[in-house]
Structure formats: structure tokens, C-alpha cells
Amino acid sequence: MQAFITLAAFLLTLGVLVSFHEFGHFLAARCCGVRVLRFAVGFGKPLFTFRAKNQTEWVLASIPLGGYVKLLDGRDREQVISPQDQASAFDSKKLWQRSLIVAAGPFANFFLAVILFAVIYISGVPQLPAVLDTPPEHSLAAKLDLVQGDRVVGWQDLADGEVSSISGEFEVVRSWNALRWDLLDALTAQSGFALELQSPSGGRFTKAFPSQELPKISPNSDPMQALGIKPTISPTSQWQELQLGPVDAMLYASHRVWLITKVSVRLMAGMFTGKTSIKQLGGPLSIADMAGKSAQVGWQAFFAFLALISISIGLLNLLPFPMLDGGQLLYDAWELVAGKRISISMQERFQKMGFLLLISLSLLALFNDLQRYFSP
């Protein structure tokens, strides 16, 4: 039964996220007057097809591991475009329209993440309070005399990373989960911050964490452990429910997606600079495992998981690699600067290079998965 839930959650995850990504391309193309030939969910043999009045073919295929949108495009040598249809071809549109259509897919993933988080916050979700546990010895929190039972009630970014820049206003910290993302944002950016805390006796005080004292991100150490700020795991009966109205939920969800995106970008960049380990790169087995586990916890955990993966898909597609949306945006940037398009033959060569690069990354992710789940 558990294997069935894992498989079903994995397929649902891919189906929803890829379909929403492709729908972003589809909607932008339609708004820019580009004819969409096909909207396919999955690959392989079609199981269901429907042709709309606008001549778009909607396809549900047998292999539910992705999808695609096929546009009328003069660059496709298999397409024969009549003179009257030329105006509705992708390659005939202005640069800004083509860039909008390409970028709409990744940004649809970010928008979906906001919607998913907002639904969770509107429905109400129990949150672990930001009450601290005893900090590890020699950690920065221990040096600042934080103790078990201290509760973080406020957060403030230090403008110049120094203690002298603390002002009187602190942002309210709603939960440990919110605090954790603020901490990851500060650590990955090496940006100083200050906390407003409440002691077990009820008194309030502040502690500053200057940027020069923050632990560095490295592949061989855990910066959160070195920082020393960790929660006290309390019974769920002591958790507080976070429930917001629609507008506040959208704003809070947007802020959460922005924080996660910033942290993810820095961690991804760290894989190329050596600051973070490539072992963190996960593949289909990791996604399937997390999808199954979150689905068994409940719909809110599964929605949160979908939001996180949706952000990852959006960021992945914005990487400036051929075969990804980011690669096409890089071509558009070249056209903007040089005043001419990259030739089709050159794009085809780049496509081959991009394909090899993506295959290499996929194999590395799969290797990490195999080590993670099957190593003794």
C-alpha cells in the first residue's frame, strides 16, 4: 500500500507541476497571438486526444513523466507554414513577446507555489513555536548565552551587518518554520541579523548576530549546527495554528516563496563554486520518496511539498543551459545586445551540448539517490 501511495503521489506531483509549467507557456503564447499546435501531458503513445476549435490538440500520453507545448514555429523544419499563418508563428513575434512566452513557464511554477502556500495558510495549519532548545557547545548561540526555553518573537536584518544598525522595529516571527527560512536566508547571504527573544520568565531582550561571526557555508559542515539555533520539539497540542485571511495569506505566501527562491539560488550556485556539496542534488527517487511521505502525513504537507518542488522546477528551467527555458532566454539576451538572432545551426549545436549536460546532471542525481537509499 505504501508503495502504491508513493507511486501515485510521485505521478501526481509530476503531472500537476509540469502541466502548470506548460500551461504558463500556453497562456502566454495565446496572449501574444501565437498558435499552439499541441498541449501534451506525458510522452509516448497518446491515450486521449481532443482538438479544440482553435485547432490546438490536447493530448494525454501513456508515459506521465513530463509534457510539452508545441507552437507554430518557422524554426521547426518539419513544419510547413503558409503565408497567411506566418503572423501567428512564434519566430515571427517581437523579441519581448518571445521572451515572455519562454519565461512564462518557470514563473507559472513560482505562482503555483504561492497559491499552494496560500491555501495552506487560509485553511489554518499547526506550527511549531520558535522556542529554542539548548544550543550546542561552542556554537554562536551558546557564546551569546541563549538557553533552552528562550522564545524568538522578532527578527530584524542588520543593514550593514553590524550591531550598531539595530533599530526599534522587529518583524514578528510566527513559528519555527518561518524562523528557519529567515536563518537559511541570512546564512546563505552571510547577512547579519538580530533576534528579539522572550525568556522563560517573560522578560524580553535582543541578541545580534553580526555577519562576520556567522558560520560559513561549506560542503563539509552544517552551518545551522554551528549557529546553534534549534527548536524545542514540543507536543503537537502546544503548537499554534497559523490561519490568515486571503489577502494576508497571499502576501505571506509570496514572501515565503521569495525567501525559498533566494536560498535555493544561493545553494545551487554553491554547487558550481564548491561551497555546497553536489551530494545534495536529488533525483526521481528522492522526489518519489518525499512525495509519498508527505502525502501520508496529509494534504497540507503534500501541498507544501508540491510548492517546494514547483519552485525547484522553476529555478531549474531558468538555468542558462540549452534545452531549458533559461537557454532560450540567453539567446534572447544575445539578440538584444547583438541585434541579430543566433543561427539555427548554432542553436542545434548548443542543443546537443545542453542535452549531454542535462543527461550528466540527471545521472549524477540518480547516483546520489542510489547512494542515499541503497548504500549499506
Among residues 203, 236, 229, the alpha carbon closest in space to that of 214 is found at 229
Helix (H) or strand (E) holding 61: strand 57-71
Rounded to whole angstroms, how far apart are CA atoms 201 and 204? Answer: 9
Among residues 167, 211, 175, 171, the alpha carbon closest in space to that of 190 is found at 211
What separation in angstroms does the CA of 24 have from each of 74, 154, 250, 310, 357? 21, 37, 19, 13, 25
Rounded to whole angstroms, how far apart are CA atoms 261 and 282? Answer: 17
Crossing angle of the two packed helices 299-318 and 284-297, in degrees rounded to 10: 150
The three cell numbers of residue 10 are 510521485
Helix (H) or strand (E) holding 347: helix 344-374
Active site residues: 22
Residue 374 φ/ψ, nearest 5 degrees: -125, 0
Radius of gyration of the chain measured on its C-alpha atoms: 24
What separation in angstroms does the CA of 22 have from each of 45, 104, 105, 225? 19, 9, 6, 40
